[in-house]
Each structure stands twice: as C-alpha cells, then as structure tokens.
Amino acid sequence: MDTPTALLILMLKMNFLMININRLIETLSNPTVYGAEDRMRDYIVNSLNERNIPNYVDKYGNVYAVKGNADYFPCVVAHIDTVHPLEEFTVHEDSYILTAINKHGEQTGIGGDDKAGVFVCLELLDRFENIKAAFFVSEEVGCLGSYLSDSEFFENVGYAIQFDAPFNNWVSHYSDGVKLFSTDSEFFEKINPIFEECLPNYSSNNLGNHPYTDVSALKSLYDFSCLNYSVGYYNMHSKHEYVSILDVDICLTTAVKLIESLGQKLYFLPKDNRRLINESFKRNIENRLNSYKTKRGSIWAPFLLRFYPIQLRLSETIDTEANDILNFDYTIETVVNHFLSVTSHDTFNWSEGKRIVHCRG
C-alpha cells in the first residue's frame, strides 16, 4: 500500500475525512435505471425536504435545488440513472471498497456512475449557504434530461461542476467534443492548482477528451464554464463496478476547495454552437425520453447509444487545444463489459488501461 493511501485510511479511521460513509451507502442503495429513476428521485427530494432546501421536479423528472441567494450561483450536477437493471441489492464494505450484492449472493452493478455524484452534490448542498444543484434523468442514453433542462434555473448560474468520471484523477476538458472550459481563463487559473494539490497524479498536460455527460449538454445550451471530474467509481457499466470511499472523499474535498476558490461569480464562456438545438431537436429528445420511460430500461440501448456514436464521432473535426487529437479514454474492457452486463452475461476481467482508440478527429 502506498503512503498516501495508508494515510487516507488512517485519517478515515480517526474520522478526519469529510465523508459521511453511512449517507454514501444509503445513496448507493437506491436501484435506478434510465426511464425508471423514481426511487432515486424520491430519495433526493426527501433528503432536500428534510433539510428545508427548496426544490422542484420538472415535467421530465429532473430535480432542481436552490439554497440561499446570490447574483451568480455555483451549480453542482449529477445524473440519477444508471445502466443496471432494477433489482434489490445490499451494499457491502470491505477495506473501504463498496460493492453491491444481490439476493442471490452475487455481485451486481452498484451504480456509482453516477450515484456517487448524487452523494457529493447532496453533501455540498449541506456545506454551502448559496448553491444550486441539478439532478438529471437519462444521462446514460444521451443526456436527455439535461438537454431538456430548465433554462430559467440556469439564468443566474456562474459555473457548473459535475462529478461523473471514473477513478480519482480524471478531469474532462472536452466532453462529447464540447469544450467545457478554456485553459486561458481565470476559471482554469483557479481550478488547476486545486487539482494539482488534491488529485493523485493529476497533470494539466493530461486533461481529458471524454464521452458525453450532462455538462456537455449544458455547455451546448448556456454561456458559463463547466467542469467534470472523477468521483471514485471503477469498472463502470459492469456487474463488477465498485466505489472507493477514499476516492469519493478526494472528490468531495476537492469540490469544497473548488467552490470556495471560484466563489459566486460568472465565468463566461460562449455556449458551443455546433449542435442545432431547436424545437425539432427538443421534440426528438422528448420522444426518446418518453420511450425509455415506457420501457423502463432496455438491454440494447446503452450499448448502441453510448458506444456506437462514440465511434462515429471520431470522424468529426474537433477544434481542441491539443493538435486536434481526440482521445477517448474508454477501455476495451469497459465497452465489452458494458455490452455483456446489459445482456446479463458474465464480464471479462481484463486489466484496466487498454484504450480503445487514440486518433485524430
């Protein structure tokens, strides 16, 4: 065990870390899948109501929370669906690793992607007096909830931070080809030193170009800077998924420092205009969302809609700050395991880190 990890475990045992483990387990214990996010949504709304945090649910099932008053709010973001079929399970902890065990005694997907992000958002709502939070439905099948987000809610948002990346040191610079923030900006000047301090082995030279998540949709709609980084889940989209308590704590600790540094102001960045987001586009998104609500999850959609479009997008010309290199850090294991998990087969236990592609756009 390396020294930093041993130190984190010692601090956790002595209650020096930020994380509320019981609340993390409670959050992870809610089964949810795109099209059937009811239990997760009810859990979030009940948690907000218990803390007297004003909130509302839009007609699509997205949850919005507003705490305090500000000219411009920090906004934290997570999605409330997973790819895992609905089933009851128990969360088990072993050496600060959380897994899900179903009624047959078998490991199943815990859904840290993105229930760990939900947990972090709820914790941040407790810790800051002036903050907003958005919890979106059906991210896993194309960011449907976030593309249909309430524009009035985001009128006074100064920046948005999402917690929806695996491991403990990923920072998304581009998501789905959409630039989330500029490296030549006050925003980056404030976040970069915090990432260097808090995230293991982070380097600004390794900022990621990652697949879609909700902030890529928000950045296509609104004129503020966005961010997405690791929240401590591993083996996502497979029955072998697990969540590291230590890495969730790293995410939460980092988030507190980021919001304290960024404060309550607007970090302007023009919205990405490469997608034509008109009424026809939104009607199509609504139809897809309604279809998934009817099906309450489908075994084929996540594979077809998440990974196949990624391959197609490799042919797009994307103007990045890294010599037009589009680097999707999805592993072959992730793709195959996801396909097998949603078709109820066993997963391959390949070593992590085999990248599926690293090519020019």
Determine the length of the chain. Answer: 361
3-class SS of residue 92: strand
3-class SS of residue 209: strand
Q: Which residues contact 138 (CB under 8 A, 6 or more apart)?
A: 34, 35, 37, 79, 81, 144, 145, 289, 292
* Per-residue pLDDT at 2: 52
Distance CA 246, CA 12 (A): 8
* Per-residue pLDDT at 7: 54
Q: Which two tokens stand for residue 59?
A: 């007609």
Instruction: Note whether 128 and 44 are within 8 A (CB).
Output: no
Q: Which residues of the chain have pLDDT under 70?
A: 1-17, 297-361
Question: What topology is assigned to 3-262 in CATH?
Answer: Aminopeptidase (3.40.630)
Residue given tokens 């483990």 in the structure block: 21
* Per-residue pLDDT at 296: 77
pLDDT in tens, 73-100: 999 999 999 999 999 999 999 999 999 9
* Per-residue pLDDT at 295: 82
Distance CA 127, CA 110 (A): 26
Half-sphere exposure of residue 303: CA atoms within 13 angstroms, side-chain side: 16
Q: Which two tokens stand for residue 106?
A: 């078998």
3-class SS of residue 184: coil
Q: Which two tokens stand for residue 215?
A: 């902030």
* Per-residue pLDDT at 168: 96
Using a 10 angstrom Cβ sphere, with 0-12 exposed, 13-18 middle and 19 or more buried, the burial of residue 49 is exposed
The ranges assigned to domains in the chain are 3-262, 299-360
* Per-residue pLDDT at 273: 82
Which strand (E) or helix (H) includes residue 80?
Answer: none
Distance CA 36, CA 56 (A): 18
